[in-house]
Structure 1
Amino acid sequence: MNTDQFPYAAPWWLPGGNAQTLWAALASRRHFGPAPTWTRSRWSTPDGDFIDVDQARHTSRSGAPLLVLFHGLEGSSASQYAVAFADFAATHGLAFAVPHFRGCSGELNHAPRAYHSGDFEEIDWILKRFATEHPGRPLIAAGVSLGGNALMRWAAEMGASAGQRVRAVASICSPLDLAAGGHAIGRGFNRLVYTRMFMASMVPKALKKLEQHPGLFDRTALLAARDLFEFDNLFTAPLHGFRDTPDYWSRASAKPVLHQIRVPALALNARNDPFVPAASLPTPQQVGRHVTLWQPGQGGHVGFPVAHGVLGLPGNVRAMPDAVGHWLLSHL
């Protein structure tokens, strides 16, 4: 197990995890080169549904690595971290792709199911297809928040065979202990800001899913849900084979199985992440020798803004993709 560190320090004008999180999401500079443009492909899923995959249009040399990024809860290729990773990939001549979890590409998927934090079966067939379509490119994969937990679950489930798909994986600000993260986001400021933001996106999509599949869940109860625990209890857990929220959060968490990973894996978590309590982060004793832990004191949730320009204003979010991207490339 490695404990190499990401030497991150936040700008003086962004104190605290909430400021670092919100600035990165709402106001930061995402790219230094041209804004990424995408070619979208629709892939049929093994169960007859579909996902949409965005592949960056910038040029990459033949045989250059393909970096696959799995987004976070209600994320997409438009999320600030996806744009920043696309900029990193363009700068270094890598191919880059963002597969959208079901229902996250702007069009509701057809099946009753959606996506969840432990969706390692979905990760598996997606990576298998990328490997099949790009046989001359070594694959590296990163996952942000929810996508990172699912990716680490996949790496643990696959064991040594994961190396047949990818050279290395990374999770970024992932709630590897879902119960700890789920309870944290349901309290105080987090409940007022982040929970409300996620629910404003997730509830309308769930109601459209109910229109597709009448009787799928209790509409009145869902409309009364006020946090992710209640939402997951009514929607996410039962639709994906879990008994209830505690069962889902327990069985889908990657932290208990990190020791099973057999490919180079990086877990980056800021210790001031509002969503992911520092006390819940994995320790060196809980992971195997293939896992590297980066746990800087600052950064927020998928933030890590850095200063540039006059007086260090405004900030950009390229530091994290640069650090994670170079770590992944070092394992080719």
Structure 2
Amino acid sequence: MPHGIRPSRFRPPDWLRNPHLQSVLASSPLRAARARQRLHQVAAQHTPTLLTLPGGVRLQGVASTPRARPPRATVLLLHGWEGSIHSSYMGLTAARLLRRGFAVFRLNFRDHGGTHHLNEGLFHSNRLDEVVDAARAVAAHWPGLPLLAAGFSLGGNFALRLALRAPAAGLPLRRVVAVCPLLDPAHTMDCMEQGPALYMRYFERKWRQSLARKRALFPQIHAFDDAVLRLPMRPLTAWMVQHATDYPDLAAYFDGYSLAGDRLRALTVPADILMAADDPVVPSEAFPHIAGFANVHLELARHGGHCGFIDRPSMDGYAERWVAARCLAALEASAVESGADSEQEDDHALA
């Protein structure tokens, strides 16, 4: 294992080691049902919340507070592209965090989770300002509590960029954790075009449905025809860049939210990252490079697929336990520094 990479404890049984099985099961109806069950079982109050942000932006989410005791900290949870607050990994992770005593805010990005009607403009991955504003509003919702953020896939990319932006934005962010975060959008697009077609077809179908819904809600603004919706992913993204952003071209747009190269070296907020070497969506070869940065703590698993990390027939997974454990470790610095005690705490949290 290269220097700076923490060996992973994720050890799925042999029948769960295929990366495509892991990735498909991660968004399966069975796992979604498990997430709803876990959230129902936890003693917490869940409050749908509409955030009205600067510039008239409106984002929707759910604020969840444990009933058993006052919350120890707040965690902002960010989903992946074309996911939502109801994605299985969001529900399962929220349930784990609530059981550990955290308040949780699951945020829908613009145009996700049925929120297309809240804003006229289209979602794109460089809308970081409104996520920073949302994080500030979430911190104000639970004043005085430490703030952490956790994200999956594109949500992990947003979480890491949130950490980079936090000092200048005056955001009291203590730590971020990211599962299979997107680092290099341009390279990821290349790999998806060359990889198994099922992933590209999945995201194309979901995005086309989202764009069609936006057009139906705001036909005077989004007057594109069905020929646009039939475009493959790369030309459709280029069309979106031209019509919905200020970026001159696709390369500049990708660079706008890229975390490739040495960009994460500037982190002052500590970041924990969980990545699978066999991720079929986000290429893993860039991750050993960032493991050498001072505030990046990387755990690289041999298996796990894309945001899967499922290790039992119940469809519960390692990733949601890992997120809760890393958030807890961020608050219990003495346990982290004590070596053996820290390992014992992690073993208990990841069980």
- Settle same-fold status: TM greater than 0.5: yes
Aligned to 1:327: 326
**Matched residue, 1:245:** 250
Partner SS for 2:236: helix
Structure 2 partner of 1:233? 238
1:275, 1:258 → 2: CA distance? 21
Q: How far 1:128 moved relative to its partner?
A: 0.9
Q: Determine helix, strand or coil for the equivalent of 2:117.
A: coil
Return the letter of the residue paired with 1:260.
A
Does residue 1:268 correspond to 2:252, yes or no? no
State the Cα distance separating 1:165 from its structure 2 match.
1.8
Asked if residue 302 in structure 1 is aligned to residue 307 in structure 2, the reply is: yes
> Per-residue displacement from partner, 1:36-73 (whole Å, max 9, x unpaired)?
67321111131213111112254253252111101111
Gaps of 5+ in 1: 308-313
How far apart, in 2, do the equivalents of 1:320 and 1:293 lie?
A: 13
- Code of the aligned partner of 2:20: N
Q: Secondary structure at the match of 2:133?
A: helix
Q: Tell me how far 1:253 sits from its aligned partner.
A: 0.9
Q: Which has the higher contact order (CA 8 A, sep 6+)?
A: 1
Whole-Å Cα distance in 2 between the matches of residues 279 and 118 of structure 1? 24
Q: Could you tell me which residue of structure 1 aligns to residue 87 of structure 2? A: 79
Q: Are the counterparts in 2 of residues 63 and 138 from structure 1 also a CA contact under 8 Å?
A: no
Contact 2:58–2:118 (CA under 8 A) maintained in structure 1: yes
1:195 paired to 2:203 = no
What runs of 5+ residues in structure 2 fail to find an aligned partner? 332-351
Note if 1:293 corresponds to 2:293. no
CA contact (8 A) 1:149 1:176 kept: yes
Out of 89, 93, 96, the residue aligned to residue 101 of structure 2 is 93
Q: Does structure 2 retain, via aligned residues, the 8 Å contact 1:171–1:266?
A: yes
Aligned to 2:121: 113
Most deviating of 130-139 and 210-219: 210-219
Deviation at 1:273, TM superposition (A): 0.5
Structure 1 match to 2:63: 55
Aligned counterpart, 1:12? 14
Query: Take 2:62 and 2:242, find their aligned partners in 1: how far apart are those partners?
Result: 28
Correspondence for 2:228? 222
Tell me which residue corresponds to 1:311.
none
**Distance apart, 1:225 and its partner CA:** 0.9
Give the structure-2-normalised TM-score.
0.83
The change in CA–CA distance for 1:33 and 1:103 in structure 2 (over 3 A counts) is closer
CA RMSD of aligned residues (A): 2.4
Contact 2:77 2:106 (8 Å CA) reproduced: yes
Say which is worse superposed, 240-249 or 288-297, in terms of deviation: 240-249
Give the structure with the higher percent helix: 2
1:55, 1:215 → 2: CA distance?
A: 32
Pick closer, same or farther for the CA change 1:5–1:121 going to 2, 3 Å. Answer: farther
Deviation at 1:249? 1.3
Please state how far the C-alpha of 1:76 moved relative to its aligned partner.
Answer: 1.2
Q: Alpha-carbon deviation of 1:117?
A: 2.9
Residue type of the partner of 2:17?
P
